[in-house]
């Protein structure tokens, strides 16, 4: 208990030193939402530490996220850069405050993990023409002509089907990627491995450019709260480091705000670190290039028009 209280005090000190704008008392709380991924856990802990300044609500499907955003229920959301671009094309006030360096894995059975081209059945979480499918096809689709693809209701269903031997590959983010490997080792199902890191495959194809699929998108009136959003980015990056150093304490704290995400992270094992959040011009240029590649392959995937760089904070 003493260690837990000391860790809580440390997080409070981090918050006070790195985010004075968030700690102020003259503005309404920032309402944040995100899917069951490692990056959301960071915001869940931040909200648990500063309930007067931040709230966190998990979302479990792209449709749920879109409904919350369209209904004005949240100010900030972890989403894909392409989803933010679609809202931008529809005239909804949105800006990308930062982009995440998040791992995206192709998990494969050991017997199906040979060199490209991949064959067999590949599972995509969520529906047809959602980002997992668009991303994979943009990077590797042309190199895997004999691959059969199927869609699931989400990451956990994808992991379960792979573990049951009903597919050969699946595209998963953390913590679902580590969870399915851990379960396969414990239950005696198909031997699974982290076969491909799509960040590396993207870099091979596009001259070493980093891949930024996920973004921190800001909506509505919150797009004008520049100093608070900048402070939020800094606070996130400080907190993610602390979580890596104190995983057990972090899980206990996050359980109050986002029990489903903290449970998933705990079951996945140690060593999962949330992606860093970048908010510099180089990162935004790389994300803009990513959008261009998706748009060139799927012209209608970003809405009625391709966004300009005003989609990103700091661009006028």
Residues 266 and 118 in one domain: no
- C-alpha to C-alpha distances, 148 to 124, 141, 151, 200, nearest whole angstrom: 11, 11, 11, 23
pTM, 2 dp: 0.86
Residues 15 and 77 in one domain: yes
Residues 256 and 272 in one domain: yes
Tell me: the pLDDT tens digits for 284-306?
999 999 999 999 999 888 988 89
Quick one: how far is CA 7 from the chain centroid?
25
DSSP letter, residue 275? P
Q: What is the CA radius of gyration of the chain?
A: 19
Which residues are registered as beta bridge partners of 216? Answer: 78, 98
In a domain, 316, yes or no: no
- C-alpha to C-alpha distances, 66 to 15, 63, 96, 172, nearest whole angstrom: 30, 5, 16, 21
Query: To which H or E segment does residue 148 belong?
Result: strand 147-152
Domain boundaries, position 119? 104-205
For residue 131, the number of C-alpha atoms closer than 13 Å in the C-beta half-sphere is: 24
Residues 22 and 154 in one domain: no
Residues 168 and 307 in one domain: no
Tell me: the pLDDT tens digits for 189-248?
788 999 999 999 999 999 999 999 999 999 999 999 999 999 999 999 999 999 888 888
In a domain, 146, yes or no: yes
Residues 160 and 194 in one domain: yes
């Amino acid at each position: 208990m003493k260690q837990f209280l000391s860790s809580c005090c440390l997080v409070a000190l981090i918050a006070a030193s790195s985010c004075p704008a968030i700690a102020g008392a003259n503005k309404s709380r920032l309402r944040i939402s995100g899917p069951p991924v490692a990056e959301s856990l960071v915001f869940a802990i931040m909200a648990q530490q500063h309930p007067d300044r931040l709230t966190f609500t998990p979302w479990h499907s792209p449709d749920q996220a879109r409904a919350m955003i369209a209904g004005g229920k949240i100010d900030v959301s972890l989403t894909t850069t392409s989803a933010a671009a679609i809202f931008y094309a529809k005239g909804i006030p949105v800006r990308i405050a930062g982009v995440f360096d998040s791992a995206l894995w192709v998990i494969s059975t050991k017997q199906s993990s040979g060199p490209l081209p991949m064959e067999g059945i590949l599972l995509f979480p969520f529906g047809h023409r959602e980002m997992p499918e668009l991303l994979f096809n943009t990077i590797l689709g042309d190199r895997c002509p004999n691959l059969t693809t199927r869609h699931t209701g989400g990451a956990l269903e994808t992991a379960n089907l792979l573990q049951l031997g009903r597919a050969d590959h699946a595209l998963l983010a953390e913590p679902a990627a580590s969870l399915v490997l851990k379960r396969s080792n414990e239950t005696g199902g198909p031997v699974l491995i982290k076969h491909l890191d799509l960040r590396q495959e993207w870099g091979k194809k596009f001259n070493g450019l980093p891949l930024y699929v996920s973004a921190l998108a800001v909506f509505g009136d919150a797009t004008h709260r520049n100093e608070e959003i900048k402070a939020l980015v800094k606070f996130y990056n400080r907190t993610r480091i602390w979580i890596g150093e104190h995983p057990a304490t972090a899980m206990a704290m996050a359980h109050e705000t986002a029990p489903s995400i903290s449970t998933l992270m705990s079951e996945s094992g140690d060593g999962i670190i949330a992606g860093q959040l970048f908010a510099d011009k180089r990162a935004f240029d790389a994300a803009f290039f990513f959008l261009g590649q998706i748009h060139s392959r799927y012209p209608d995937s970003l809405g009625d028009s391709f966004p300009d760089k005003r989609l990103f904070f700091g661009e006028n």
